[in-house]
Structures are given as C-alpha cells and as structure tokens.
Amino acid sequence: MDFKVIATSSGSNARAGLINTDHGPIETPIFMPVGTVGAVKAVQMPDLEHDVKAQIILGNTYHLYLRPGMDIIERAGGLHKFNGWNKPILTDSGGFQVFSLAANRKLRDEGVTFRSHIDGSKHLFTPEKVVDIQRSIGSDIMMALDECPPGTAEYGYARKSLSLTERWLKRGWQHFCETEPKYGHSQAFFPIVQGCVYKDLRQESAKFVADLGAEGNAIGGLAVGEPTEVMYEMIEVVNDILPADKPRYLMGVGTPVNILEAIDRGVDMMDCVMPTRNGRNGMLFTQHGTMNMRNKKWADDFSPIQADGASFVDHIYTKAYLRHLFAAQEILALQIASLHNLAFYLWLVGEARKHIQQGDFKQWKEQMVQQLMVRL
C-alpha cells in the first residue's frame, strides 16, 4: 500500500490524497461503509459500487471469526471472494467489541478473553491471533488489537489501558512483520492511537504509533461518550504528531458534521454505522439537513427525496412514497434509506475532496455545516 497527498487547502489541515492497494485505489478523504459480517446491511455489493460509489468497505474481525468462522472464509479464498467485493476491504481488530461487550470479557496481558454473544462460548484474542485472523480474512488493511476505554474513563484507568494497548501493539506489529498474506495480495497494518480525553496520553500514544513506521495510522477511542469539542481537540493533538505522509483513519465517527470537522483537522479515512442504522430507523441525511421519514408531514409530499444538488439513488422515489413504505413496515424502505444515506456520505466526502483541490474547503465547510445541522 502507498499513499500520497495530492492537494491541501488554505486555512485548513484538510488534504486530498490517494491510497493505492492491490484491490484498487482509494481517493481520500473517504468514508467507508461498515459491513460487519461481510455485508453492509440492506445493501447489495453492485449497489455499493455503482449507486453508493463506495471505494472501500469494512469487515469486523470479531463477528467474522464467530460466524462463519475462518475455515469457511479460507476455503472461499478470503473475504473478497466470499462476499463478491473486489475493491479494498479494511477489518477492525475486535477491540471495539471488547469495549462494547465489557460484561462478557476479561482483560489481561496475554490478551482478552470473552464469551460469544451468539452461544456463550469462550474465546481468547491475543495480538498475534488477531493478526492471524485478519490474514485469513485477507483484508487490505488490518488493525492492531487495542483496548478502547470509555470517554468518561478516569486518568488512572486510561493510563493503565494505554500501557496495555502499547504492549499489545508491539507484539501485534512483530507478528505482522513475521507472517505473510495468504491470498497473493499485500496487506497493511494500522496501529491505533488511544489515550482517552487526556492530552498527554494522546501525545504519548501518537508518538509511540508514529515511531512504528506502519503504512497508515488510526485514531481510536473517540465518539465513545466524550463531548464533541473534546473529540475535535484530541484529533488536533494527535494529528500534530502523526506523520503527514501516511493516511490517518478516524475510527467510528460519525455524523456528517463530525466528518467535515475531522477532514478539516487532517483526517483521511472514516467509518460509522450511522448512515445505515439511522436510515433503517427512518432518518435521512441530506445537504439541506436531516429528515425523519416517519413524520406525517411527508405523507403528501410528492417531490423527490433529494430534490436538487446531489442526485442520489433515490431520485425516482418521492418523500410520500418512502414515508408510506416506512408506515407499512415494508423492507424496501430500509434499503432505499440505507442507499440514500450511504450515497450522501460518499457524495459529501467527494465534495470535500473537490473543494480541497479548489483551495476553498474551509469556506465551503463552514457553509455546509450550517446546512447539515437543520432539521427539515
């Protein structure tokens, strides 16, 4: 994998770049749809490619390890062949599931022991095993095992957690360097910056990660309960240290406004379940604000869902029709809303890239943020 910065914009740390992988290029800044179990919920792969225009999707190490299991994925020839997605794939390490399933896990220096949410069976993730699992999955970009403390964690806990993450990172990186890909394409390894909301811990972690010299770096442990402004501050602290010639991936963030603010602060890659999860619950994101499609106000609105500007996959559907589908609990509603939101997110980062290249990203972003915050 290689990365180059193509353009920057005056008054901002935003940059437009290009990542090259063996499964194709990724134009940054980029949003990555989340395909937890090897599928983006309610969206088929051709729709992701042609309508959403996704360039890379995510898979989840924890979930794929439990179902269908590595034996099936290896026999299929890796996740790309298993799910039919021929563009880049990034896999997380399972670290966030360790955080979110705190009641079912135990942390120790060796790794994390957890019980499956499916059948209660007991499993151990070590830094080395997580690398091996991602070798079996065959993702183009794999993540290091880390612990993700809550945004409200006290300093003492955050310090202890970071020390554990750094010890795990050393082992995971060594094991990555000592092993080879299984399917004939190269794989990159991204370490993850942690440190909760504490500037000194974030700085320490960013330096530790930068010194590793990996092909890209990630920022984890944000949007997990801390105030939004603190999240933005931590991004700035970290990006002041992470190398500018490597892609920076902000994990699990977030709203369209969050995404623009992160890009403004030098982030290149983002992912979040929000566009599909909120879409399935009737919330649509548009360049003019958000719409709750369950509201009665849309019942006789026969205008297209996306009326002007960006023309997404839903331009043939009216607001009244989509509202009817939600009211009738028709599965098609979930598909249309998910496609719409994902297409909008990809349009948004594409517009950001265009304005970075034009040099007026900061002005465009400020105007767009105001529009995005409106509730229609």
The active-site residue out of 92, 140, 268, 314 is 92
Structure tokens at 325: 């589908």
Among the listed residues 47, 140, 264, 271, the single catalytic one is: 271
Which one, of 150, 48, 34, 136, lies nearest residue 92 by Cα? 34
92 annotated active-site: yes
Q: Which residues of the chain form beta strands (DSSP E)?
A: 2-8, 15-21, 24-28, 30-32, 57-60, 89-92, 105-107, 112-115, 122-125, 141-143, 188-190, 192-193, 217-219, 248-250, 269-271, 283-286, 289-292
Is 271 a catalytic site residue? Answer: yes
Q: How far apart are CA 119 and CA 125, in angstroms?
A: 17
Question: Which among 167, 246, 158, 152 is positioned nearest to 194, based on CA atoms?
Answer: 158
Q: At 280, phi and psi to the nearest 5?
A: -65, -20
Residues 6+ apart with CB under 8 A from 199: 233, 234, 237
Cα 64-19-360 angle, rounded to 5 deg: 120
**Residues tagged active-site:** 92, 271
